[in-house]
A = this chain, B = another copy of it.
Amino acid sequence: MTSATRFLHIDEPLLLKRGGVLSSYSLAFETWGELNKDESNAVLILTGLSPDAHAASSSSDPTPGWWEPMIGEGKPIDTERYFVICFNSLGSCKGSTGPASINPATGKAYRLDFPDLSIEDIATTAHLLVQHLGIDRLSTIVGPSMGGMTALAYLQQVPAGARHHLSISSSSNSEPFSVAIRSLQRELIVSDLQWNDGNYDDENWPVKGMRMARKLGMLSYRSAAEWRTRFGRRLQDYYPKELFGMNYEVESYLEAAARRFVRSFDPCSYLYLSRSMDWFDVTENHPDLKTALVGIKLDSACVIGVVTDILFPMHQQEEIAQALTDNGVQTRFWDLQSLMGHDAFLVDYDHFLPLVGNYFDQIWQQDALSKE
């Protein structure tokens, strides 16, 4: 949470998809720009696993956000045109209620008493927030990675919930390879002695498990091609004392990235959100993806995938684009030749800024025409 984070506290029970209940809960979000009079210019950004709601800087919090080059005045998601909302996922530890939040029934953190969390629950609460903000229909729902899953769930629940949809490096379900990568990350965390069945504290934090899980995560977020170019076989500056210590730059890069992450995210939140992605499947009660998306009332969609993404591989973006097209949605599809893998939308702005900018220019003009 940052100084710009706002909260919606709801004191009514929320029934979760898999049967659990939250008696009350908070939703954290941040906004930029102004909602126009006919409430037609709202853009909702749903995030990947770890980001908070601080997607960009603002006067109330000038620190750069996690999507700083993308959102702001004159930027691809232009806050002079749009009222931009970034929602912190239910289950996260960045302001919205999650396993690290206080359970009102016990006065202690939920931890493993938190009910089973689904992507659909994140979507339901995102929609509650949008309603609370007085918005009947979003202009655009934007979802990178897990956020794209949440966006699809949102559109299933609220078929006329948005006029446009931007899906980035996401999927309508998780592949077995992605399930396996996430399953092993979870196993690394719960195998740490300090995990202690969720009873860790600041002094006894599952540091080792979180560090190794993050390294495995990084292996799936970036690409072999990027690291070949970036590190090659360059050695570290110093020869490690440990017998099986790090010899190569790529190893110390991963170590540094993992260390930065370990304390920045709650282990329980990580586990719950990670597993919610495994469980997610838009086609769960449908014969196929096209049928699952029938009825969704979008004027346009843009689906972007990255060829080097091994976690949400390209064919999954193609499937979403095809299913939307088959349902009559005017859909652009881009298979980006970026080296940056799944994380490209966070780091490869040379590729992403023009694409997202063009799409938002297109829908701005499209919406203006439809009003005439």
Binding site for B on A (CB under 8 A): 112, 173-181, 183-184, 186-188, 190-191, 193, 208, 212, 215-216, 219, 223-224, 227-228, 230-233, 243-244, 246-251, 254, 271, 275, 278-279, 281, 310, 313
Interface-centre pick from A179, A215, A246, A248 (highest chain B CB count, 10 A): A179
**Contact between chains at B180 and A254 (CB < 8 Å):** yes
Q: A193-B193, A244-B186 are in contact. Are A180 and B227 (CB under 8 A)?
A: yes
- Contact among B215, B216, B231, B281 with A233 in the assembled complex (CB-CB below 8 Å): B281
Given A184-B212, A244-B275, A278-B248, A177:B233 Cβ within 8 A: no
Contact between A216 and B184 (Cβ–Cβ < 8 Å)? yes
* 30 sampled A-B residue pairs with Cβ under 8 A: A175-B227, A176-B228, A176-B231, A176-B233, A177-B219, A177-B223, A177-B227, A177-B228, A179-B233, A179-B251, A180-B227, A180-B250, A180-B254, A181-B219, A183-B248, A183-B254, A184-B212, A184-B215, A184-B216, A184-B254, A186-B244, A188-B188, A190-B244, A191-B212, A216-B216, A244-B271, A244-B275, A247-B278, A247-B279, A310-B310
Contact status A232-B279, CB under 8 Å: no
A364 CB, nearest partner CB in chain B, Å: 37
Assess the B219–A250 pair: CB atoms within 8 A: no
